[in-house]
A and B are shown apart, each in its own frame.
Chain A
Amino acid sequence: MHPPRTIAALCLLLTGTSLSAATASASQTLQVNISPAASFSTSSYSFTLTKSGSLFISSGRFTGYTANLTLLYQARTGAASTTAGITVKATSDFAPAGGPAIASGPVLTYTCAGPTLGTGCTGVQTVSTVSATRVVTLPAMACTGGGSPCSNGDPNSATMSFFLPDDPKYRTGFYTTNLQFTISGI
């Protein structure tokens, strides 16, 4: 017994020999596997944490640096997706030394708002250099664009609000760190 694909191939052979008839038809079975997939709309982001002087004055103490980052993404999750979503992890600590240090404790935190596909993180999350933390959780059978059953928006977006506490012990200077985002549809 031939599997279904082989039978389809045989059908093509048979119809190919009857082209002299007045009407001829041929059929072919096409199959494609639509797999979970996800991606960001850009390969890199860059943003600067800044602080508001008015906050500093009104509170009478060092407050913190803030920045918002909007992620643009597309996703198609599988029927059995359990880990689909967006995560973030610091791949390097702030440099040079003397300023904020992620590895030394809960320094760089974020909250999530408004994912147009999936569910944003709840509460305050702490960026780690050791493990990735969740930004957006995507449910099974979710997809970007085109309306129901997918999202209306294409690409989807989610906003992260970062907060870096200020500390007088930081030396004055310019510091940078790198975050790595991962999006998965699986």
Chain B
Amino acid sequence: MYSTIKKASLGLFFAGAIAFAQVGTTAPTATVSVTVAAEAALVINSNVTLTSVGTNFADYTGNNTFTYFIRTGAASGTGSIVAKVTSDFSPAGGPSVASPVTASDTLKYTATVAAPGTAAAQQTISTASTTSVASFGSDAHSVKAGNSGSTAWVLSNDPLYQTGSYTATVTYTISAS
């Protein structure tokens, strides 16, 4: 009987030693998922002042730059940059996109964009509808810092304009799917 009790006592100590070896760490896992969708953004880097240089009544010209960020769908995605005059020149008496003093007066632009964008041909901008600046195909990606683009503007210089400073607002919209 002495022998039996002695073994029981030793058994308690072994149990403690086994527990020390087995516990202490566990390692659950986590599954992390993310859906990367098509998206796009655009930053206008500066406003532009149109100036007439050279001969009298030479058209007003100017250039502004923008940076675009885009990711289009891998399979059948597409993207675009469009522009529209959302606020016509003011005050009255000067140039106007919606109601030019002479029918042939226009505000036009020629776009330049870095790949993967494709610049549109020269456009006459409107207050009524958007016009194309650039387009993108499927699986198009800008770099993380963005890709560059610019629009070179030409505004008719009509002697009928009253002297003064006139301001209009052009809104660029970039989209991706």
Contacts and interface: CB of A to CB of B under 8 A. Distances in A.
B34 interface: yes
Interface string A165-184: 01111111111111111111
28 contacts: A9-B8, A10-B2, A13-B5, A32-B12, A33-B17, A40-B26, A48-B33, A49-B33, A56-B41, A61-B41, A61-B146, A62-B41, A62-B71, A69-B30, A166-B36, A168-B69, A168-B70, A168-B144, A171-B141, A173-B36, A175-B36, A177-B31, A178-B30, A179-B29, A179-B30, A182-B26, A185-B23, A185-B25
Interface residues of A, number: 66
A30 to B, nearest CB: 7
Interface of A: 5-6, 8-10, 12-13, 16, 29-33, 35-40, 42-50, 56-57, 60-62, 65, 67, 69, 88, 91, 94, 98-100, 108, 162, 164, 166-186
Contacts of A88: 30
A135 B36 CA distance: 27
B29 A169 contact: no
Contacts of A183: 25-27
Interface of B: 1-2, 5-6, 8-10, 12-13, 15-17, 19-20, 23-39, 41-43, 69-74, 77, 139, 141-144, 146
Interface core residue of A38, A43, A99, A166 (most chain B CB under 10 Å): A166
Given A30-B12, A49-B34, A168-B71, 7 more contacts: A33-B13, A36-B23, A162-B32, A172-B37, A172-B74, A174-B33, A183-B27
B24 A181 contact: no
A65 B30 contact: no
A50 B39 CA distance: 13
Given A30-B12, A33-B19, A181 B29 contact: yes
Given A33-B19, A45-B28, A182-B27, A168 B141 contact: yes
